[in-house]
């Protein structure tokens, strides 16, 4: 019986360790692309599911689910790891990090699949950890906002009409505001820096919305309203500049971006200034419209161009994980072996690769 167990189980455990190590390597490999990442993810998840799904045709819990302890550090908690002896915890944690890799690569959103498995955790995620629903929600919303940033930059480059750009910018600003509000119940020491970033992006895209809405109003011969809209754009842009300074000075986990130094940010300041001056000149020579005291209410809705998440699906169960193999697995033998193992090493944080943009478009994904 021992030889059968060894022959059937050991290859799966060896392959599981190898595919996990391979997937972790991909997080820091600058040559990794979405196809390579998908292959590495599928290879590991197809085997890991053999420790989660029922393999004996019953509704009972997989007896291999709780045999291995997994440790992960978290985005907002520094190098202090959280640990659970649960393969579902490993699946959700690894999926979270795969999703983060995709956001860094800026190719697709891959966040919502985690919700299928998080409710199954025996031990609920601690507050402020990566699997805290507030943290996950904030990341998903921020992903959508950053995907739309690319859409806005493309729309400006292709000289789409000002109405569409204003609507896209307005909805992007709302995404950032929603992400910020999602984090408002987290402890300030771990969320303040992130929230400052979300707030500066919200005001930046509100400035874009008011600027392009002003262009739409001017094209409709509503020069007074256009001036007021551009004045509001100036206020929002000034607030975004102030928040950039506060963001750099706020202590917290993660690297510090420099959005105020990006070409995309700087161009908007010049655009607002020049467009406002143009409106004021034309109002002085042609229109003679009164400038309203109140800023226009933005009720803009983009008709197209909105970013949509790409559904994330787990790969099929590995062919190695069969009912026959499952039946030969001896939990008591595994427990004895685990006791003989030396103490696990400290969890070391994974250093992110410095992924440079392919083109100098002035648009940077955080």
Average pLDDT, integer, range 134-143: 92
Which of 103-117, 182-196, 209-223, 295-309 is predicted with the least confidence, judged by mean pLDDT? 103-117
Neighbours of 280 (CB within 10 A): 16
Mean pLDDT of the chain: 85
Average pLDDT, integer, range 22-29: 93
Domains of the chain, start order: 8-328 (1.25.40.280)
- Compare 303 and 278 and report the one with higher pLDDT: 278
pLDDT tens digits for range 52-101 = 998 887 888 898 999 889 999 998 888 888 999 999 999 999 999 998 88
Q: For the whole model, what pTM was predicted?
A: 0.78
Q: Indicate whether 157 pLDDT > 80.
A: yes
pLDDT tens digits for range 98-118 = 988 888 775 344 444 445 567
């Amino acid at each position: 019986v021992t030889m059968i167990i060894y022959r059937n189980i050991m290859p799966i455990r060896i392959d599981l360790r190898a595919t996990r190590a391979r997937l972790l390597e991909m997080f820091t490999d600058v040559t990794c692309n979405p196809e390579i990442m998908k292959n590495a993810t599928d290879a590991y998840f197809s085997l890991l599911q053999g420790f989660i799904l029922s393999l004996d045709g019953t509704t009972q819990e997989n007896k291999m689910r709780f045999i291995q302890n997994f440790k992960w550090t978290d985005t907002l908690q520094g190098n202090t790891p959280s640990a659970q002896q649960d393969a579902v915890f490993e699946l959700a944690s690894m999926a979270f990090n795969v999703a983060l890799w995709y956001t860094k690569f800026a190719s697709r959103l891959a966040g919502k699949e985690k919700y299928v498995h998080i409710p199954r955790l025996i031990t609920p995620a601690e507050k402020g950890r990566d699997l805290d629903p507030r943290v996950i929600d904030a990341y998903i919303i921020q992903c959508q906002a950053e995907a739309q940033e690319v859409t806005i930059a493309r729309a400006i480059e292709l000289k789409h009409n000002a109405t569409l750009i204003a609507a896209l910018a307005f909805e992007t600003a709302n995404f950032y505001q929603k992400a910020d509000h999602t984090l408002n119940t987290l402890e300030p020491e771990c969320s303040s820096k992130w929230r400052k970033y979300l707030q500066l992006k919200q005001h930046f895209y509100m400035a874009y919305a008011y600027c392009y809405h002003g262009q739409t109003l001017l094209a409709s011969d509503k020069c007074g309203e256009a001036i007021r809209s551009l004045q509001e754009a100036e206020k929002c842009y000034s607030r975004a500049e102030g928040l950039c300074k506060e963001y750099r000075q706020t202590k917290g986990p993660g690297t510090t971006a420099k959005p105020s130094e990006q070409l995309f940010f700087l161009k908007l300041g010049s655009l607002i200034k020049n467009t406002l001056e143009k409106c004021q000149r034309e109002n002085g020579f042609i229109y003679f419209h009164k400038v309203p005291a109140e800023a226009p209410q933005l009720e803009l809705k983009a008709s197209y161009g909105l970013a949509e998440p790409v559904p994330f699906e787990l790969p099929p169960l590995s062919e190695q994980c069969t009912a026959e193999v499952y039946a030969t697995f001896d939990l008591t033998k595994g427990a004895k072996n685990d006791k003989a193992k030396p103490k696990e090493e400290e969890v070391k944080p994974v250093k992110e690769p410095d992924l440079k943009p392919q083109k100098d478009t002035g648009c940077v994904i955080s």
